Amino acid sequence: MNNTSEVINQILVAVLGSDIVSLQPDEIRMDSLDSWDSMRHLSIIAALENEFGIFIEASEAQELISYNQLIAFINNHPEID
Amino acid sequence: MSLSFLDASKIVTEPNQFDRRDFTLAASGQTEKLDIFIKACSIQRGYNCTYNVLPFNTLAQYIFQQEHIHKQHIFLLFPWDLVPLLDWRTGINSENLNFDDIIDYADKLLTAISTYQDAQILFITADTPPVTRRQKLIQRIENKILTLLIDNNANILPTNYFSLSSYLSNGCAIASIHLYEVANKISALITHQPFTTKKIIVTDFDNVLWKGIIAEDGLNGIKCDAEGTGYTHYIYQTFLKKLQQEGILIAGVTRNDRHSALSPFYNKLTVLDKDDFVSILASYNAKSSQLESISKALNLALDSFIFIDDNPIEIEEVKTQLPQVTCIPYPHKTEKFKGFLETIHSYLLEDKLTEEDKSRTRQYKLRKKTAEASNKQGANLTEYLATLDMSIAYQKCGNTNYQRALQLINKTNQFNLNGERLTEDRLIRLIENEGTSLVTFSLTDKFGDHGQVCCILIQNYSQISHFVMSCRVFQRRLEYAAIVLLSNLLQTESFKLSYKRTDKNIPLQTFLSENNINKDSDSQIILNVSEFKSKHESCLDLFSYKP
């Protein structure tokens, strides 16, 4: 597991709870988890911004609603070294 | 010590027996993002905090209704809380600005806050919308508001803590990368503990005080003038100079030999004088140990230190080894320069300047013990280096692609086997000899492509006549991987190194010492590759290899 996925995993566990550890990546989605509501979504986005030192536009944030999408976004972000 | 979100999460989830403190965080906007940081900072101060917040956009109503005035309050204010016409979220108001009405409202609001029994104000100097073309009016308003805030003992936080994008998208006006700083100030105010005001700035030299590397580029190659590529470094030096005159101690820690490190000062290339520094340590050993040495010599606690460096590996080493030191990376991009200076300022709050402040450097120099460069081992950075996704590529050079290797051989001073230079003609002739190999190594990591950064010239199949590496990639352990790759490429199990001590090749001397290679005499020395591999096996795992 590379550093990006490790950080994202830790963020999701911190915000959504340790129950997600037993889930497959494809199962970690906003539309399938009760714990991933709109307030927690804001917390996830804020945590990503803080950990990676970036700003995520609102239009981008609303698309980042699954684990895989978060990974792809961070890995492809031009400002993240 | 700065906390990231995950750092704060870890602190908050660990059990503790601290007492509870209760307060109201009164803000007009969203403050949810601050929560975990406020709790973590409070725990670090030895208490757990519970606090209530106000419903969105009800701050003014709350204040004027004088609710719960006996309870402790932290008022987190933005310009639009004092001048509602300046709120981005309501758009550009068509109402005309009336100076007297505006100031009267702001004054009334702050007066109402002052009636609270235990209230502290944090004001973030956010950018405001261009509500008028009357620039002088806006400036008068802003100046007057600032005066009112200062008169009410407000704590003023810098503009770069504000994020317009965040404010518009979710109502939280605080930039995510500055949540810790704001939360830390809130938590300090709750206990009336003063901010951990810093007393000393320890700065790196190369690519911080000046653009360039003094030991490589020389006096003519470094830049810190008020022009061109040296401009931000010039401004940085003037910034430090002013702080020093106001009582902040300035120290230097640099990976250089002392002569090289001081030569820009002796040659009057700098704004700062050598005497502006309370201490300068030039050493190739861990910077954390140099900071400890300064701390002991000056009898200053490490939590009063700010450390500034452009190298993320140095920053990480100090953060790991000395978490109480505040580390601020020197920005590579000019756009981040203002925020960088404001961040330093935010740790140096002082509103009075005394005669004692002005002479602080001299006082400390008189009473300090001499800080000596320490050779204590620094933090083990293997874990951090493993996150850099480092990749090495190597190529054997011929007589058409030797140019970068030639440049490295003739420019590099510090990691240089013997300091011997080659002319272009000589190198071409050598390459054409049987038994000669010129190999260059390129490095990429998560910070980017560093290009060809290391070069080894082997003659007679196993004699290394030149071994050089750019100082830009020090501490990544590339030199270990290069030797192993070379032995695989050339199918040799030992190398003879044509070593010669120079005034500047201390990093190379350190490399030899770490491998128990006797460098006391200039000579051919033998490096046994299998012994070398077995000792540095873990370093090899730090890299992926491209053919």
**What's the pLDDT band for B514 if we cut at 50, 70, 90?**
confident
Residue range B327-345: mean pLDDT, rounded: 88
For the B388-546 domain, the top CATH level (class) is alpha beta
Q: Within chain B, which residue ranges are assigned CATH 3.40.50.1000?
A: 200-380
Measured between beta carbons, which residues in chain A are less than 8 angstroms from residue B448? 81
Mutate to test the interface with A, among B88, B176, B182, B389 (most CBs of A within 10 A): B176
By CB atoms closer than 10 A (0-12, 13-18, 19+), residue B387 is middle
Measured between beta carbons, which residues in chain A are less than 8 angstroms from residue B389? 2-3
Looking at every residue in chain B, the average pLDDT score rounds to 88
Q: Which superfamily does CATH assign the domain made up of B200-380 to?
A: HAD superfamily/HAD-like (3.40.50.1000)
Q: Where are the domains of chain A?
A: 3-75
Three-state DSSP class for residue B343: helix
By the 8 A CB rule, do B417 and B500 touch?
Answer: yes
Distance CA B356, CA B364 (A): 11
The 10s digit of each residue's pLDDT in B52-94 is 999 988 999 999 988 777 789 999 999 999 999 999 999 998 7
User: How far A34 CA sits from the closest chain B CA (Å)?
Assistant: 19
| pTM metric for this prediction | 0.64
Give me the amino acid identity at B278.
Answer: V
Nearest to B88 by CA among B56, B131, B52: B131
Instruction: Note whether A46 contacts B5, CB cutoff 8 Å.
Output: yes
Query: DSSP per residue over B61-119, as a string?
Result: HHHHTTTTTTSEEEEEE-HHHH-GGG-GGG-S--SPP-HHHHHHHHHHHHHHHHTSTEE
What does each C-alpha distance from B40 to B121, B149, B309, B395, B479 come to in angstroms? Answer: 21, 28, 26, 50, 41
Q: Within chain B, which residue ranges are assigned CATH 3.40.630.30?
A: 388-546
For the B5-190 domain, the top CATH level (class) is alpha beta
**Which CATH number does A3-75 carry?**
1.10.1200.10
Interface ipTM: 0.89
Q: In which residue are the tokens 């190379």 written?
A: B508
More confident residue, A14 or B521: A14
pLDDT at B321 over 70: yes
Name the percent of chain B lying above pLDDT 70: 93
Q: Within chain B, which residue ranges are assigned CATH 3.40.50.1110?
A: 5-190
